[in-house]
Structure 1
């Protein structure tokens, strides 16, 4: 994998939207995550799919729909302040 891309399950875990990578993989495999990359929207089906800086993500979790822009990929699963720097919410 290149330095400008990250697996979607790993990114969701680093950004603290899920507690484990397994839960992130389940979320993706349920086809609950949509990715918009270069203007093309796709519903993700595999946790190994890549996410890039600037991509838009939309996913449903716990009865809420979340839309966000990926701002960074992250190096680790750090504290919440570090996780919030990985994305910006879209109203």
Structure 2
């Protein structure tokens, strides 16, 4: 896990051809990495849905990213439960 900065830093990122200034405690490199992943996801979805406007594409991207997050959270809970019950062999 990346070490967080003590003060918010601003950095400019590019997502789907648009420049955004984002602020956060993470390093500018990390924020650019996150933006690049969002950009890649939007471009991937655009290939499958070429007629979506940018707003709908962004919402669809957000839904997909949240779906991924929820599935990871569920898997983490499963692994934690396995660890607590001592059933790591079946994990």
Q: Which has the higher contact order (CA 8 A, sep 6+)?
A: 1
The structure carrying a bigger helix percent of its residues is 2
Q: What TM-score do the two structures reach when normalised by structure 2?
A: 0.25
Instruction: Determine which structure has more spread, i.e. the larger CA radius of gyration.
Output: 2
